[in-house]
């Protein structure tokens, strides 16, 4: 393989398997500063992403072309993580690098009054990516077993049955050709403190600061427990979770880039065949 930008030929190919949640997975055993499946440096990671950009473009265009007739697969990237885990950076640096045509991003906030009057998956279903698209959920249906569980927003017997509801919902997504890539960005409380401090230090970051984030820090342990339950109950063979250590932003970006690339490679959509007679059209064109 030719070397690019002087970067070592450091492969990111092993990341997907290294971050995939397997039976017996223990969240607290994952060091948020680690870089599983990757031996390169921050500088190498930039080279690695540059090196596969053309391939991602090609694969995304194939996906998009395949969806033009109203069926064909789509991809749904589900991003979860504590406040400041870096979801915004993933949107800008990873998702932002692919052709915006064919990408739809939706951020799920505190449910509106109307949304609360419906089952929790109602607002989620409305945002599923159409064929050929890459959808991104910045938070998701998982909030309904995370923040909701931590803050007792519904009775335990309600949130307890949601894990099974989520699994069957995701299977029904698969049946419609929607391929999920589920990612938890895993940061340490120390790193979160540093990121919040930065938001308070810099006027250009005030807009990102939410005093409520400090209240949520008080519940760190409860959130980790709620995440562990999510990983135990909703990481399936078809729709596995990936826990991406995120104290190093560069690693988290490389890992999500790689997970997206792996999924697009797996789908490797063929170019749709012409629905016209090519030779005939060439002749017509030549005659003009």
144 binds, among Mg ion, ligand AMP, none (CB under 5 to 8 A by kind): ligand AMP
Tell me which residues in 165-194 interact with ligand AMP (CB under 6 A).
Answer: none
With CB under 5 A as the contact rule, the residue among 35, 76, 83, 94 that binds Mg ion is 83
148 binds, among Mg ion, ligand AMP, none (CB under 5 to 8 A by kind): ligand AMP
| 110 versus 278: smaller Cβ distance to ligand AMP | 110
| 64 versus 142: smaller Cβ distance to Mg ion | 142
CB neighbour class for 236 (10 Å; exposed up to 12, middle 13-18, buried from 19): middle
Site string for ligand AMP, 47-86 (x = CB under 6 A): ------------------------------------x---
With CB under 6 A as the contact rule, the residue among 109, 112, 114, 273 that binds ligand AMP is 109
Segment lying near ligand AMP (by CB under 6 A), choices 24-32, 143-151, 198-206, 278-286: 143-151
Question: Which of 113, 217, 185 shows the shortest CA–CA distance to 209?
Answer: 217
Return the CA Rg of the chain.
21
With CB under 6 A as the contact rule, the residue among 108, 163, 169, 223 that binds ligand AMP is 108
With CB under 6 A as the contact rule, the residue among 1, 54, 110, 278 that binds ligand AMP is 110
Segment lying near Mg ion (by CB under 5 A), choices 9-17, 18-26, 76-84, 153-161: 76-84
Segment lying near ligand AMP (by CB under 6 A), choices 25-33, 36-44, 98-106, 139-147: 139-147
Asked whether the beta carbons of 89 and 97 are under 8 A apart, the reply is no
**DSSP conformation letters of 29-57:** GS-TT--TT----HHHHHHHHHHHHHHHH
Residue found by looking up tokens 């921050």 in the block: 42
Does 143 contact ligand AMP by CB under 6 A? yes
Order of strands, sheet of 241-245, starting from the edge strand that comes earlier in the sequence: 103-107, 134-138, 74-81, 178-186, 241-245
Does 157 contact ligand AMP by CB under 6 A? no
Does 111 contact ligand AMP by CB under 6 A? yes
* 220-234 helix and 162-175 helix, angle to the nearest 10 degrees: 50
Angstrom distance (rounded) from CA 158 to CA 32 = 31
Q: Please give the DSSP secondary-structure letter assigned to residue 169.
A: H
Does 154 contact ligand AMP by CB under 6 A? no
111 binds, among Mg ion, ligand AMP, none (CB under 5 to 8 A by kind): ligand AMP
Least separation in angstroms between residue 245's CB and Mg ion is: 20
Question: Which of 179, 178, 185, 180 shows the shortest CA–CA distance to 255?
Answer: 185
| 14 versus 96: smaller Cβ distance to ligand AMP | 96
Distances (CA, A) of 24 to 29, 79, 228: 11, 22, 11
Question: Which of 112, 165, 162, 173 shows the shortest CA–CA distance to 137?
Answer: 173
Segment lying near Mg ion (by CB under 5 A), choices 75-83, 108-116, 180-188, 268-276: 75-83
46 binds, among ligand AMP, Mg ion, none (CB under 5 to 8 A by kind): none
- Residue 204 is encoded by which pair of tokens? 């250009």
Residues that bind Mg ion (CB under 5 A): 83
């Amino acid at each position: 393989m030719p070397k690019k930008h002087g970067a070592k030929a450091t492969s990111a190919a092993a990341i997907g398997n290294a971050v995939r949640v397997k039976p017996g997975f223990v969240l607290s055993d994952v060091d948020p500063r680690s870089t599983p499946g990757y031996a390169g440096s921050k500088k190498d990671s930039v080279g690695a992403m540059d090196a596969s950009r053309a391939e991602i473009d090609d694969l995304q265009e194939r996906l998009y072309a395949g969806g033009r007739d109203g069926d064909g697969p789509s991809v749904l990237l589900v991003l979860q993580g504590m406040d400041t885990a870096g979801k915004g950076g993933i949107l800008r640096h990873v998702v932002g690098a692919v052709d915006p045509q064919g990408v739809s991003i939706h951020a799920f906030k505190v449910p509106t009054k109307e949304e609360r009057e419906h089952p929790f998956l109602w607002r989620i279903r409305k945002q599923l990516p159409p064929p050929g698209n890459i959808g991104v959920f910045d938070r998701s249906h998982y909030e309904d077993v995370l923040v909701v569980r931590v803050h007792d927003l519904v009775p335990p017997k309600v949130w307890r049955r949601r894990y099974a509801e989520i699994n069957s919902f995701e299977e029904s997504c698969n049946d419609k050709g929607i391929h999920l890539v589920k990612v938890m960005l895993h940061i340490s409380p120390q790193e979160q403190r540093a990121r919040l401090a930065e938001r308070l230090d810099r006027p250009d970051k005030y807009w990102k600061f939410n005093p409520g984030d400090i209240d949520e820090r008080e519940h760190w342990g409860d959130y980790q427990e709620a995440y562990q339950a999510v990983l135990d109950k909703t990481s399936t063979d078809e729709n596995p979770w990936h826990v991406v250590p995120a104290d190093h932003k560069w690693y988290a970006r490389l890992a999500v880039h790689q997970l997206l690339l792996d999924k697009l490679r797996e789908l490797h959509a063929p170019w749709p065949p012409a629905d016209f007679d090519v030779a005939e059209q060439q002749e017509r064109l030549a005659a003009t």
